[in-house]
Structure 1
């Protein structure tokens, strides 16, 4: 016991003294200049000679300390970026404790790879396959948040990009409102491009719909007053899809289907094309069950 405590006291006394020793710092590069993308450096570790207390030096032997290298101080010659030792040495010294002294650094110059980049804001388009359950439809548009992101990269990579898409998402048999998180698709060819967001949130409302058929008279327009026209049939079915509450308020008079005399000006035709000229709002879809009718013209 006496020997153990004697050795411990001796060790503490010795470690309390200052020593000069070689150790390594891990480098972290910070403050990348605006308009550039950090691509790496020639050195990620720095071998230095320090004068410090024994306890501090002992700690470095177990785990490398980390120091930051400010890229805002980098110099540029042509396309090469570098930081001379006299510049980054001051940065390292500012990060040392007052009880430590930097004696020497092995590396003369740090060379840094930086790539000139531009930024642009582009919309996000969902790549979604929606399969609705029977009698259910999307109630309004699918919402995407955020609906646009900023991409940053070399001009040769992003100049032609006007939109980014999500990964493919399949939603089967939907019969209720949904909210899904989906990743943005990142092309393997955009190796140096960065995205301000990596995923988006898709939401949509799902509503139960019903169908109803309305028998609507066919109106003739722009025909000369001396010509009588009859269509066969004289009425056409209009198929509507909407919420049941909305369908209950509709009547055939809310729709107008016409045939226009202008179709006959360029020559005779066996059939006249139908046009749905008026329809109420708030419907999911409206469809004519036939698109043309036969006709007979009689002069008065």
Structure 2
């Protein structure tokens, strides 16, 4: 019994010892990280504020080695991720066609972005060279490359809308001077029987390597309506007939086949259409038929066509 008690006490003392040891190590670690140290680190460079009329294509350096005085916690952070600093390209100098940022200029920019106890002691003494391409800007219309397949007895009610209908293209003159429009990627919309809205990506040729678009996609929309068909028997009218002649056509009426929304069809009358024969177009005295044309039709119809485009006739003098 006594031996068991001693064994339990020993285990308890060991646990207490390790707890205190862990706490002590944690306090020491935190205290150590709270101190200020001098060491090496690397900054990731992000170039911002490019001059108007130029496109950024890269720089001589993407990161920069530095010597810092900083807190232990800050140096610990560098072990996981480099600090990102911005280089303001608007302060760059130009020599001919080449842009560059001198060491003293970007050093002052970096120092303004440092926080807390961090201080910049040494930095690579190297000029940052920038690759900036001169560009021009054009506003071009967008042309959708879309095949619309409608379900049976449905039609497109009005024009297809596209938003935006034009975009701004920016790039070197030799790349975009010949551009007259921007195309969407090809897409097929099958068996549509209701209004639609579709997001379409824009097609960009591989040769437009240094060209950017103000938008990479557009929205296509349209209204779909159910339609029906109705046939109107419209009397044939002959115009430009000499006053001393009479004419009779066979048939005397022409079937006009009309497709439209059902409500619109209900509003139509035969008098809304006019089918005529222009006697002046008669080819010769021996021709057996005369051409028929639709001279008047109402608005808001999907399609209108004549079932017959020629008629036979008999002419006699009065």
Task: Output the TM-score relative to the length of structure 1.
Answer: 0.90
Partner of 1:149: 167
Q: Are residue 20 (structure 1) and residue 20 (structure 2) matched? A: no
Report deviation, 1:186. Answer: 1.8
Partner of 2:96: 78
Partner of 2:12: none
Distance, in Å, in 1 between the alignment partners of 2:129 and 2:292 is 74
Q: CA offsets per residue over residues 150-196 of structure 1, 9 Å max, x none? A: 22111222222222122122122222222222212222221111112
Structure-to-structure mapping, 1:158-197, within 5 angstroms: 158-197=176-215
The answer to whether the 8 Å contact 1:47/1:107 transfers is no
Q: 1:215 to 1:5 in 2, by over 3 A?
A: closer
Partner of 1:284: 302
The structure that is helix-richer by fraction is 2
Task: Output the TM-score relative to the length of structure 2.
Answer: 0.85
Q: CA offsets per residue over residues 226-266 of structure 1, 9 Å max, x none? A: 343444433221110012222223222211111223425x8
Partner of 1:138: 156
Q: 1:74 to 1:296 in 2, by over 3 A?
A: farther
In structure 2, the gaps of 5 or more residues are 1-16
Report deviation, 1:59. Answer: 2.3
Structure index of larger Rg: 2
Structure-to-structure mapping, 1:108-257, within 5 angstroms: 108-257=126-275
Q: CA offsets per residue over residues 88-122 of structure 1, 9 Å max, x none? A: 11100100125222122114111111111122222
Q: Secondary structure at the match of 1:209?
A: strand
Distance, in Å, in 2 between the alignment partners of 1:152 and 1:75 is 23
Which segment is superposed worse, 218-227 or 108-117?
218-227
Report deviation, 1:13. Answer: 4.7
* Aligned length, in residue pairs: 299
Structure-to-structure mapping, 1:35-50, within 5 angstroms: 35-50=53-68
Q: 1:60 to 1:268 in 2, by over 3 A?
A: farther
Partner of 1:55: 73
Q: 1:268 to 1:20 in 2, by over 3 A?
A: farther
Distance, in Å, in 1 between the alignment partners of 2:30 and 2:153 is 82
Which segment is superposed worse, 51-60 or 80-89?
51-60
Report deviation, 1:197. Answer: 1.5
Q: Secondary structure at the match of 2:308?
A: coil
Q: Secondary structure at the match of 1:293?
A: strand
> What is the aligned-residue RMSD (CA, Å)?
2.3
The answer to whether the 8 Å contact 1:46/1:107 transfers is no
Alignment counterpart, residue 95 of structure 1, candidates 95, 113, 117: 113
